[in-house]
Structure 1
Amino acid sequence: MIAGGGIAGLAAALSFARLGGRVVVSEVAPVLREVGAGLQLSPNGHRVLDALGLSSEMEAAGERTRAVCLVSGRTGRDVARLPLDRLHGFRLLHRADLHSILERACREAGVKLLLGRHVGALIDRGRRPTLRVEQRGENELLDADLVIGADGVGSRVRDALAPGAEPAFTGQVAWRATVEGEGAGDPVATVHLFPGRHVVTYPLRGGALWNVVAVAERGEWRAADWRLLGDPDEMRAAFADASPGLAGLLQRVGTCSHWGLHALPKLPPFTGQGVALIGDAAHPTLPFLAQGANLALEDALSLALATDAPATLDRALRGWEAARRDRVARALAAARDNARNYHMGGPGRLAGWAALGTASVLAPGLLLRRYRWLWDADVTA
């Protein structure tokens, strides 16, 4: 039984179904639909989709990423370039396209999708966990051998497994939007750097759309929900000193979502008796390393493989958690480091940029090796 029908939940559903499991997904939305815009797939996530038999559909939906470029947000001047075109597994995808691919594969694999069900609580009724779901004011109790919480930052499953593990505002807010493109966009992810702020842009669907994610440091926020409608003028005002090229792109934003970035002060338990957490339910991931979806994909398949082994379920869950915690913690720390580097101000900013620029010209492989521990991981092995 899986709570949540986002990328993490559907990837887990498909992973278990491929191994012969009977899988039910409970999702609050009446129609399966992914919110958000673009995502950057890296080799560690690509391998999971390969193992699930989705390579051809995924490759048709997204373009290979040629590079990640860091530029001055105010002038547009190049700071550093990380070439990715010789590395397999980097792609720029629309989240909705990946979600649709996973949904279609789940339906074909016989996964049962219960839509319009709100997860009320996880109930301990002995050896088997029970999920209480609500629909139109009526409750239904669903027993399962394993309940997986893939229900995001505000996870109700996590509430039962780790009471008091509440996400805290990180002091950063984000706007997300897509704007119409003119086709044939260069498949490069560009990070526009400002003191205390940054913007990430890249083309989607062959340049038909451009993905825009803008992040700025703020003192307070109301809610973690990224479905809140934002004000494009407020976003543009936060980046009023943008370079002409970036300012022109921001000017074309008609609607955007707006949310506060939240993280857990410390990692909660990922597992309990007959229960596991994956994706943002286990480890909300800040968008400074482009690893939220990739780590969720890793969680999903690795959990299915771990529990398919000839061991008791609880022992398998404990082994899976032990294998995941250090890697996840390292990825979260790397994302926090990137936030500091992206938002650097003062004299250190120019010195840091100069060092990055020199390294990207003289030894581009050195910059890439910094993250090979992340990208080279293969949970399918």
Structure 2
Amino acid sequence: MVDRARSTPRIAVVGGGIGGLAAAALLHRAGLPNVVYEQTSQLKEVGAGLVLAPNAVRLLRRLGVLDHLLGSAVPLDVGWEFRRWEDGRILSAEDLAGSCERLYGEATYTVHRADLLNAISSAVPAGSVELGRRLTAVAADGDTARLTFTDGSTVEADVVIGADGVHSTVRGAVTEPSPATYSGMCAFRAIVPADRAPAFARRRAQTLWIGPGHHLVHYPISGETAVNLVAFAPAGDVTTESWSATATVEEFLAEFAGWDPRLQDLIRQAGTPGRWALLDRRPLQRWSNGPITLLGDAAHPMFPFFAQGAAQSIEDAAVLARCLADDVTAPARALQRYESLRIERTTRLQEISHGRAHVNHLPDGPDQEARDAALAAADPLVANGWIYAYDPDRAETDAAV
């Protein structure tokens, strides 16, 4: 007989995106074998660019994959460059070159999501990812859980990590999810080749154009060979929440009619833009149920206005791996510890990300003028130190005291 209390737990990770592969890699680094079950036929990331702040970069360096990423990542010289919608006037900007390393030990980068996924996957052992495995159900049975897939096969595990995104199947085995509500906003995404982008968009800067009911963000990615665009606008009758949904350049342009002509010129160079509805979800009250837990968007989907979605998934993975490694004989207890260490922080980020939409989209008038004055006086790099200085190892130790 095998003494299950003394053996290494069988760990199943559902989802092979950034959060799921980060969990797999960090668990492997902690000496905990695991298997990733991914529903698609290949590991890939949809979408386009993202910002990697120091809290995420720190963990990628610790995992040993940062050098893999640096060939395509773009270090930012300027962040939070807010521009006025009608004329591009700079309202505020933060000098990041050198400041991030001085304050937080790491720079801030922009990357293509696919490049980040490839870097993280390089730390996942070959053979530990099973593709084409779409989960249909998971249920706890005492100290173990059973996963059922579309082909009828089943798997038993001592730990199930639901990293299966905003439409998580695993979440239904953990808690009654809060129903999504209509936010009234949609997102556009597009990539412009650098040789077709105007000079102001090719700079190593994260720029946010803000105006009535809308805002648009752009920055270089992919070794400065492309410019990533992401914009937010009233959703109208758009209700599809899928990164595969598309719009036309003409529809994208129509949302920014009357804005600075330079910005419209940038939009005109975009390929087929993606467009999907932003649905609103309240923070969950719990993430874990016995041997089953959640990670990343499955646990805490958030509006992208603080650019922390991927970073929080990686942080989750680091804390989860640490908790399981420290309490390997009692996985359910380790999962509760993980939840208790993470839920307050991610809930706070969900809430402030939610509130940022209103601030960015103020109509012209006294409130907008007060906002612009506040932006000019702000130091977001310092003010958001609670986000960027976070270290999962130190957070876990501090909580134990």
TM superposition score normalised by structure 1: 0.93
Q: Give me the whole-angstrom Cα distance separating, in 2, the residues matched to 1:144 and 1:258.
A: 37
Q: Give me the whole-angstrom Cα distance separating, in 1, the residues matched to 2:181 and 2:156.
A: 32
What's 2:216 paired with?
A: 199
What's 1:275 paired with?
A: 292
- Written as runs of structure 1 = structure 2, the 5 A alignment for 1:48-197 is 48-68=59-79, 69-85=81-97, 86-87=99-100, 88-106=106-124, 109-110=125-126, 112-134=128-150, 138-182=151-195, 185-197=202-214
| Residues paired across the two proteins, number | 370
Q: Give me the whole-angstrom Cα distance separating, in 1, the residues matched to 2:387 and 2:257.
A: 35
Deviation at 1:197, TM superposition (A): 0.6
- Contact residue 65 and residue 122 of structure 2 kept, 8 A: no
State the superposition RMSD in angstroms: 1.7
Instruction: Note the alpha carbon deviations across 1:66-113, whole angstroms, 9 max, x for none.
Output: 12200012211101102211212310111110111122321xx34511
- Written as runs of structure 1 = structure 2, the 5 A alignment for 1:259-338 is 259-310=276-327, 312-338=330-356
Q: Give me the whole-angstrom Cα distance separating, in 1, the residues matched to 2:50 and 2:37.
A: 24
Deviation at 1:219, TM superposition (A): 5.0
Q: CA, structure 1 residues 140+193, in 2 after alignment: closer, same or farther (shift >3 Å)?
A: same
Q: Give me the whole-angstrom Cα distance separating, in 2, the residues matched to 1:155 and 1:292.
A: 15
Q: Give me the whole-angstrom Cα distance separating, in 2, the residues matched to 1:95 and 1:164.
A: 27
Q: CA, structure 1 residues 303+372, in 2 after alignment: closer, same or farther (shift >3 Å)?
A: same
Q: Give me the whole-angstrom Cα distance separating, in 2, the residues matched to 1:268 and 1:158.
A: 12
- Contact residue 22 and residue 111 of structure 1 kept, 8 A: no
Deviation at 1:205, TM superposition (A): 2.2
Q: Return the letter of the residue paired with 1:30.
A: S
Instruction: Note the alpha carbon deviations across 1:118-165, whole angstroms, 9 max, x for none.
Output: 11011233320111112xxx2111111110001111000001211343
Structure 2 spans left out of the alignment, 5+ residues: 1-11, 101-105, 395-401
Deviation at 1:55, TM superposition (A): 2.1
- Contact residue 27 and residue 117 of structure 1 kept, 8 A: yes
Moved more, 309-318 or 252-261: 309-318
Q: Give me the whole-angstrom Cα distance separating, in 2, the residues matched to 1:24 and 1:169.
A: 35
Instruction: Note the alpha carbon deviations across 1:328-378, whole angstroms, 9 max, x for none.
Output: 111112212221211111421123213322x15xxxxx4322210111101
Moved more, 54-63 or 1-10: 54-63
Moved more, 9-18 or 109-118: 109-118
What's 1:363 paired with?
A: none
Q: Give me the whole-angstrom Cα distance separating, in 2, the residues matched to 1:375 and 1:112.
A: 31
Q: Secondary structure at the match of 1:224?
A: coil
Instruction: Note the alpha carbon deviations across 1:202-243, whole angstroms, 9 max, x for none.
Output: 011232101000101235542322211222211111111221
What's 2:261 paired with?
A: 244
Q: Give me the whole-angstrom Cα distance separating, in 1, the residues matched to 2:72 and 2:293.
A: 30
What's 2:398 paired with?
A: none
Q: Give me the whole-angstrom Cα distance separating, in 1, the residues matched to 2:290 and 2:234.
A: 39
- Selected match of 1:350 from 369, 381, 393: 369
What's 2:43 paired with?
A: 32
Q: Return the letter of the residue paired with 1:141.
A: T
- Contact residue 319 and residue 392 of structure 2 kept, 8 A: yes
Structure 1 spans left out of the alignment, 5+ residues: 361-365
- Contact residue 296 and residue 309 of structure 2 kept, 8 A: yes
